[in-house]
Amino acid sequence: MTPNRLVVLFLALLAVGPLVLPPFYVTLLNYIGLYALVAIGLVLLTGVGGLTSFGQAAFVGLGAYTTAILTTQGELLPAWLAWLGASPWLTLIAGMLITLAVAWLLGAITLKLSGHFLPLGTIAWGLSLYFAFGSVPGLGGHSGIPDIPAINLVGVTLARGDQIYYLIWAFLLVGIWTTRNLLDSREGRAIRALKGGRVMAESMGVDTARARMVIFLIAALQACASGWLYAHMQRFVNPNPFGLHMGIEYLFMTVIGGAGHVWGAVVGAGVFTVLKQWLQDWMPRLLGQTGNFEIIVFGFGMVYLLHRARGGIWPLLAKYVPVRKPARTVDTTAEPLPRREQPTRGEVVLQAVDVTRAFGGLIANRAVNLEVRAGEILALIGPNGAGKSTLFNQISGVDVPTSGQVRFRGHDVTGQDARQVARLGLSRTFQHVRLLNRMSVLENVAIGAHLRGQRGVLPAAWRLDRAEEARLLAEAARQVERVGLGRHLMEEAGSLALGQQRILEIARALASDPCVLLLDEPAAGLRYQEKKELAALLSQLRAEGLAILLVEHDMDFVMGLVDRVVVMDFGEKIAEGLPAEIQRNPAVLEAYLGGTDE
């Protein structure tokens, strides 16, 4: 069955559900829909973005309480607010705006946290909001707010479960569709790049702080919409469903369903809800007594699932379900992206002027000077600990010199961050390959083209970005072809050999249309033939006028290829010259032969 037919079948089943199922099951499906709506936010936030949140239930509560108060307490509210209570559709918008504001504030204070501090932070504000719902005067305390009106949709009042069912699942389907679209776009790749580490993403021009905030806000909005639907389904709210335990359950649903997959959220919410209900019904009968035994069994069941299916249930199911894989084809007729104005051959593009970097008492770079010209390859060599990586980091905006200057095409860029430097036309690879293993070769390279596109989150979610996306992917495909990995275009990056992964990183760097390429040990781990191909590629790039700076250990590779060599030892530049001169230089021989590990 084709993916499209499968979707049609799924929609048809959804549509007839309430007509044939008993009300109990319709209610169950309503809950699954509401939970899944929150869980798809967590897929984006936690599964894809790597940010663990236990606090989503609080945003569900914000959506529910906003509409509850506005639609029932009109007479207590000032006139400028009270009019919103006229229709739940207005209160939905109000709830979204409030959620945006609150989430932005909470995001600003928690998203900078790393490691376990971030989840702890979400627990902290999740608890605060939960207690606020119960204690702030006017919110009905723990007995809650009754008499919430039903939603009216084009003249139909959605008073019964089998009526609001359609609205809940419509919201969920839109959530699934827009989230999947977003992930399969320029912004989506930026979000997925978060898992490749901050330095990699920023070096490709991705604003990682913004990307984190974006997914945090989207997840909060989806939770808010779920809360709004919930309030109008139950027609009553109290704080209970918005507590920390629910925040934990949402995360559970997402993880057991498959945190990295949008459909995993639906499967997770379904399995979780049905299993829990089933245990609640059967455990007391089996044991002949009540006493929350189902929770205990349920807990162990969840742990078992996590053991057996680390990636969640969805990936296991997906083997049997043909699903749409993002970006399978590349439109080679797409109009090429505009290129930046390139420097003329021989122009000094990159310059280090008296760069000094001290780590406490240790001087890792002492007054280092070097320059790289358009159309040349400069090698930076030296024994381990000489200070090459330190210099490399300062040039690429990852680190800031203690004193001295880094100049790029005549501008002082000292102290500018990796993203700004990337925007100016400097691109790099990493000594330890930093690719997104589960993403295709094509998409990895497309991350490099991030700064050459503009379309944001909303156009991506609604598929208004396709023209630009086609151009970005076509550019990425051209770079993959150029470095000779064309045969592997749609393979997962993680399935390539190390040597190919290094070449892939070069393609990713080239996708940004750089004028300087910084390569950190590009030949490490390459076989003889691969080295020859790499050397041919670099020669070709040089012929095209690119300036290339490479840090390298492999002497044979360096000597046959580069134009000039700079040698460092103990943080200082000890020699500079043509490869042949360097090979005869006594100071260099001393550094290498007398050195520690060469």
Least Å distance, CB 399 to ligand ADP, is 8
In the list ligand ADP, Mg ion, none, the entry touching 384 (Cβ below 5 to 8 angstroms by class) is: ligand ADP
The alpha helices in 486-565, defined as continuous H runs, are 498-510, 528-543, 555-561
Least Å distance, CB 392 to Mg ion, is 7
β-pairing verdict for 516-520 and 348-359: unpaired
Measured between alpha carbons, how far is 584 from 51 in angstroms, rounded to an integer? Answer: 53
Binding span for Mg ion by CB under 5 A among 44-52, 98-106, 133-141, 381-389:
381-389
β-pairing verdict for 377-381 and 547-551: parallel
Least Å distance, CB 386 to ligand ADP, is 4
Q: How many CB atoms lie within 10 A of CB 543?
A: 10
Which residue lies nearer to ligand ADP by CB, 505 or 552? 552
Which residue, 205, 249, 239, is CA-closest to 42? 249
* Residues 6+ away with beta carbon under 8 Å from 161: 18, 23, 26, 27, 30, 233
- 121-125 own/partner pairs: CB under 8 Å, 24+ apart: 122/52, 122/53, 122/54, 122/55, 122/247, 123/54, 123/55, 123/244, 123/247, 125/55, 125/58
- The footprint of ligand ADP on residues 338-367 (CB under 6 A) is 359, 362, 364
Token pair 């936030």: residue: 45
Binding span for Mg ion by CB under 5 A among 74-82, 84-92, 126-134, 382-390:
382-390
Residue 389 interacting with ligand ADP (CB under 6 A) = yes
Residue 385 interacting with ligand ADP (CB under 6 A) = yes
Residue 382 interacting with ligand ADP (CB under 6 A) = yes
Q: What single string gives the DSSP state of each residue in 315-380?
A: HHHHTTS--PPS-----TTSPPPP-PPPPPTT-EEEEEEEEEEEETTEEEEEEEEEEEETT-EEEE
Which residue lies nearer to Mg ion by CB, 179 or 389? 389
Least Å distance, CB 525 to Mg ion, is 15
Q: How many CB atoms lie within 10 A of CB 547?
A: 29
Q: Which of 389, 390, 396, 585 binds Mg ion (CB under 5 A)?
A: 389
Least Å distance, CB 598 to Mg ion, is 13
Q: Is the separation of the CB atoms in 510 and 519 below 8 Å?
A: no
Which residue lies nearer to ligand ADP by CB, 446 or 558? 558
Least Å distance, CB 524 to Mg ion, is 10
Which residue lies nearer to ligand ADP by CB, 83 or 359? 359
Which residue lies nearer to Mg ion by CB, 226 or 389? 389
Least Å distance, CB 13 to ligand ADP, is 57
Beta strands in 10-64 (DSSP E): none
Residue 384 interacting with ligand ADP (CB under 6 A) = yes
Least Å distance, CB 428 to ligand ADP, is 14
Virtual torsion, Cα 403, 408, 412, 416, nearest 10 deg? -80
Residue 387 interacting with ligand ADP (CB under 6 A) = yes
Residues in the chain: 598
Residues touching ligand ADP: how many (CB under 6 A)?
A: 11
In the list Mg ion, ligand ADP, none, the entry touching 359 (Cβ below 5 to 8 angstroms by class) is: ligand ADP
In the list Mg ion, ligand ADP, none, the entry touching 385 (Cβ below 5 to 8 angstroms by class) is: ligand ADP
Residues forming contacts to Mg ion in the complex (CB under 5 A) are: 389
Residues forming contacts to ligand ADP in the complex (CB under 6 A) are: 359, 362, 364, 382, 384-390
